Amino acid sequence: MTQTIDKDLIIFANRLANESRKILRNHFRKKIKIRYKSDQSPVTEADTKVEKKLRMLIQRKYPKHGIIGEEFENIQINAEYLWCLDPLDGTAAFITGKPLFGTLIGLLREKIPIFGIIEHPILGERWSGGINNPAKLNGKNTKVRKCKNISNAMLYATSPEMFEGKNKKSFQRLSTMAKKTQYGADCYAYGLLASGHIDLIAEAKMKPCDFLALVPVVRASGGIISDWDGKPLNINSGGCVLASGNSKIHNQALKIINGK
Amino acid sequence: MTQTIDKDLIIFANRLANESRKILRNHFRKKIKIRYKSDQSPVTEADTKVEKKLRMLIQRKYPKHGIIGEEFENIQINAEYLWCLDPLDGTAAFITGKPLFGTLIGLLREKIPIFGIIEHPILGERWSGGINNPAKLNGKNTKVRKCKNISNAMLYATSPEMFEGKNKKSFQRLSTMAKKTQYGADCYAYGLLASGHIDLIAEAKMKPCDFLALVPVVRASGGIISDWDGKPLNINSGGCVLASGNSKIHNQALKIINGK
C-alpha cells in the first residue's frame, strides 16, 4: 500500500500512550477495585480510567474519528479513521504486580490497520510502527530476526488456557514442533518478536482490540501476522492470531496448525 | 529457631547479587552462545560466567564454606555453611529478552536454609530475607497478604509443562480451585508472593538450587513454603514446591494437591 500517515496522528498516538503510562504507573501495586466480567476476565479502575481518558482526548482532537475499546461501546465504527484501544492488556498480570502488561493503541484507515503502539508503562518500553513507518522500540529502529526452521523457533502464548477443543490440538502440535514454548507475556511477546528475540506467537480467544494495534508493529518490524487460516486480521477476524518473524516459518506454522 | 545471622554474611550475599546483576545486565539481549542440556534446558555463557564469579568470590572470602550450584560440581557439601547458587533462574526468559529471570543466592547452616536473595538484574528488584531478618524488597520491608480462601487465590507456576502424570492431575485440581492461574514468571513469582501480590505458587521438577534461596525469603515475609507433602524443603527434597501467603490456604492447597 502506498500511503503515508499524517505525522500529527503519530504524535497524537504517542501522547495517548504517555497519558496511559502516567495513569497505570499511579495504580500499579496499589489497592484497587477489581470486577470480573462474565468470562471471568478481570477489569480494574485503572482499565476504565485509561480508556475514558484516551477516548476523551480522541473525541476532543478528532471528533470525526471512530473508536472501539475494551470497556465501552463503539463510536462511529464506519469513520475513515478508527482508533482501537486496549487500555490494559494483561489485567491479570497488572493485578498480581507483574510488570509485563501494556496499553495497545491501534489506528485503522478505511478498516485497515495503519499504525500501532505497544506501550509498557512500568518497564518504560514502547514499541511502535506502521505503514511506511519503521518499527521502533523507544524511538530506535527494531526488527525481527531470521529463524529458518520451526524446530529452532521460540514460541510464546499468553496462556495454555486460551486454547480449547480443535484449537488446543492445533496449538499442541505447534508447541511440540517449536524449540521451546513460553507463557505469560501478554502483549509484551509481540514486542519481543518485533525486536528479534522470539520467532513465533500463537494465541486464541483474542478480541479485535487485543490484536489490531499489534498488526502494524509486527509488519513494520518485518514480521508476518495473520489469523490461523493465513488471512489478514481486521475488525471482523475470529480470535486466533499467528505472528512470525518471517514468511517461511509463518507458512510452516500455518500448515502445522491446520494439520497439513 | 533462635539464631542470628552474622551481618557480614548478609553484606557478602548482597555483594554476590551485585556482581551477578552487573554480568547479566551486560549480556541481556546480546548475541550469546546457547547450549542445551540433556533435559533440553538451555545454558548460556552468562549462566556459567555468573556462577564462576560467585564461586570464586565465596572461595576467596570463605574457603571453609560449601557450594552447590546449577552448572558446576558441589564443593564441601557437609560444611557448616553451604551456599546454593542458581546464577540464572529463567534462562528461557533470558534468551528471549523477557526480563523476569533472576539470580538465586541461598545460604544454609547445618543444612537449614537461613538466608536468601532473589535478585532481578534488569528490573532492579531484589528480594531478601532470612531467620531473624525481615523480608525486604530493595531494602524496604515487605510481607505477604491475607487470602482467606483458595477460591480467591492468585496462583502462579513457571510452566504447565512442569507437571506430568500424577503431578499434572494434582496441579490441575489446584488450578481449577484457584481464582486464576498465571504462568511464566519463574522466580519472580516468589517475590510477588513475598510482597503480597499473589497467594499461591505450585511448581514441580525443581532442583535444590531452584528453591533453597526462596525458602528463607518466603518465610521471612510471613509465607509458608514446603514440598507437596507439607514437609520442609532441604537439599534432599524432591522437586515439588508449594508456597503460600498463609497456613490456611497452604493447608487447603496441600489437601487439593493430594486429593483429600
Could you tell me if residue B13 is inside a domain? yes
- Substitution target from B34, B98, B118 for chain A, most A beta carbons within 10 A: B98
Indicate yes or no: CB of A197 within 8 angstroms of CB of B154: no
Nearest C-alpha neighbor of B249 from the set B205, B193, B168: B193
Tell me the average pLDDT of chain A: 96
State the DSSP code for B75. Answer: B
pLDDT tens digits for range A172-198: 999 999 999 999 999 999 999 999 999
Say if residue A24 is exposed, middle or buried (CB neighbours under 10 Å; 0-12, 13-18, 19+).
buried
Asked if residue B222 belongs to a domain, the reply is yes
Contact B216/B179 with Cβ under 8 angstroms? no
Which pLDDT value is given to residue B191?
98
At B150 the three-state DSSP class reads: helix
Q: Cα separation of B205 and B192, whole Å?
A: 21
Question: Does B135 share its domain with B195?
Answer: no
Interface A–B counts its CB contacts (< 8 A) at 72
- Inter-residue contact A209 to A86 (CB < 8 Å): yes
Instruction: Tell me the Cα Rg of chain B.
Output: 17
Q: Please give the residue of chain A at the shortest CA–CA distance from B161.
A: A181
Cβ-based neighbours of B246, under 8 Å, separated by 6 or more: B144, B146, B147, B222, B223, B224
The DSSP code sequence of B17-36 is HHHHHHHHHHHTTS---EEE
Domain containing residue B75: CATH number: 3.30.540.10
Looking at the fold, whether B135 and B174 belong to one and the same domain comes out as no
Strand partners, B43: B35
DSSP three-state, residue B92: helix
Separation CA A250–CA A150 (nearest Å): 9
CB B198 within 8 A of CB B156: yes
CB contact under 8 A, B99 and A185: no
C-alpha distances (whole Å) from B2 to each of B86, B131, B132, B224, B232 are 28, 8, 8, 18, 18
Question: Has residue B2 been placed in a domain?
Answer: no
Domain boundary residue, one of A76, A109, A141: A141
What pLDDT tens digit does each residue of chain B (260 aa) get? Answer: 457 899 999 999 999 999 999 999 999 999 888 888 887 788 899 999 999 999 999 999 999 999 999 889 999 999 999 999 999 999 999 999 999 999 999 999 999 999 999 999 999 999 999 999 999 999 999 999 999 899 999 999 999 999 999 999 999 999 999 999 999 999 999 999 999 999 999 999 999 999 999 999 999 999 999 999 999 999 999 999 999 999 999 999 999 999 98
Mean pLDDT (whole number) for A29-43 = 85
Check residue A2 and give its pLDDT: 55
Secondary structure element (H or E) that encloses residue B87, with its range: strand B81-89
Contact B220, B132 (CB under 8 A): no
Write the secondary structure of chain A as one string of H (helix), E (strand) and C (coil).
Answer: CCCCCCHHHHHHHHHHHHHHHHHHHHHCCCCCCEEECCCCCEEEHHHHHHHHHHHHHHHHHCCCCEEEECCCCCECCCCCEEEEEEEEECHHHHHCCCCCCEEEEEEEECCEEEEEEEEECCCCEEEEEECCEEEEECCEECCCCCCCCHHHCEEEECCHHHCCHHHHHHHHHHHHHCCEEEECCCCHHHHHHHCCCCCEEEECCCCHHHHCCHHHHHHHCCCEEECCCCCCCCCCCCCCEEEECCHHHHHHHHHHHCCC
Domain C-terminal end among A80, A107, A141? A141
Residue A46 counted as domain residue = yes
Strand partners, B68: B84
Indicate whether B24 and B132 sit together in one domain. yes
The residue of chain B nearest to residue A193, with distances taken between CA atoms, is B96
Nearest chain B Cα distance for residue A98, angstroms = 8
Specify if A2 maps to a domain: no
From the list A92, A99, A198, the residue facing B180 with the nearest CB is A92
Q: Are residues B163 and B112 in the same domain?
A: no
Q: What is the ipTM of this complex?
A: 0.95
Answer whether A96 sits within 8 Å of B197, measured CB to CB: yes
**CATH code of residue A172:** 3.40.190.80
Per the structure, the count of domains in chain A is: 2
What are B204's three cell numbers?
A: 514441580
Closest chain A residue to B187 measured between Cα atoms?
A98
Are A132 and A154 part of one and the same domain?
no
Quick check: A92 and B185 CB within 8 A?
no
pLDDT in tens, A136-161: 999 999 999 999 899 999 999 999 99
Q: At what angle do helices A165-177 and A247-257 cross, to 10 degrees?
A: 130
pLDDT of residue B35: 87
pLDDT at residue A42 tops 90: no
Distance from CA of A248 to the nearest CA of B (A): 20
Residue B240, sorted as left (phi over 0), alpha (psi -120 to 50) or beta, turns out to be beta
For A45, other C-beta atoms within 10 Å of its C-beta total 14
pLDDT at B4: 87
CA distance B69 to B67: 7
Which of A127, A143, A180, A187 to mutate against chain B (most B CBs within 10 Å)?
Answer: A180
Residues of A with CB under 8 A from a CB of B: 29, 40, 42, 92-93, 95-100, 123, 154, 156, 159-161, 180-185, 188, 192, 195, 197-198
Q: Which residues of A touch B93 (CB under 8 A)?
A: 182
Same domain? A209 vs A240: yes
Q: Which has more confidence, A39 or A33?
A: A33
Contact A92 B182 (CB under 8 A): yes
| Radius of gyration of chain A measured on its C-alpha atoms | 17
In a domain, A159, yes or no: yes
Q: Find the mean pLDDT for residues A98-123.
A: 97
DSSP B135: E
Domain membership of residue A45 as a residue range = 7-141
Q: What chain A residue is nearest to B183 in terms of C-alpha separation?
A: A184
Find, in chain A, the residue whose alpha carbon is nearest to that of B192: A97
Question: Above 80 in pLDDT, residue A3?
Answer: no
Residue A1 vs residue A208, higher pLDDT: A208
Q: Residues A52-89: pLDDT tens digits? A: 999 999 999 999 999 999 889 999 999 999 999 999 99
Say if residues B119 and B126 touch (Cβ distance below 8 Å). Answer: yes
Sign of CA dihedral A137, A29, B240, B218: positive
Q: Length of chain A in residues, anyone?
A: 260
Q: What is the pLDDT of residue B2?
A: 56
Interface-testing mutation among A29, A96, A177, with chain B (most B C-beta atoms within 10 A): A96
Do A106 and A55 lie in one domain? The reply is yes
B189 CA: distance to closest CA in chain A (Å): 8
CB A178 within 8 A of CB A156: no
- Residues A242 and A227 sit within 8 Å (Cβ to Cβ): yes
A156 and A125 share one domain: no
3-state SS assignment for residue B98: coil
Same structural domain for residues B135 and B173?
Answer: no
Percent of chain A having pLDDT more than 70?
A: 99
SS3 B11: helix
Same domain, B80 and B188: no
Q: Are residues A184 and A225 in the same domain?
A: yes
Q: Decide: residue B8, CB within 10 A, 0-12 exposed, 13-18 middle, 19+ buried.
A: exposed
Question: Positive or negative CA dihedral for B30, B31, B32, B38?
Answer: positive
DSSP state of B161: G
Residue A1 lies in a domain: no
Asked which of B141, B172, B190 is the last residue of a domain, the reply is B141
Written as one letter, the residue type at B151 is: S
A84 in the same domain as A48: yes
- Chain B residues whose C-beta is within 8 A of a chain A C-beta are 29, 40, 42, 92-93, 95-100, 123, 154, 156, 159-161, 180-185, 188, 192, 195, 197-198
| Angle ∠(A11,A14,A19) on CA atoms, nearest 5 | 125
Cα nearest neighbour of B199 on chain A: A96
In a domain, B1, yes or no: no
User: Torsion angle of alpha carbons B107, B257, B171, B42, nearest 10°?
Assistant: 30
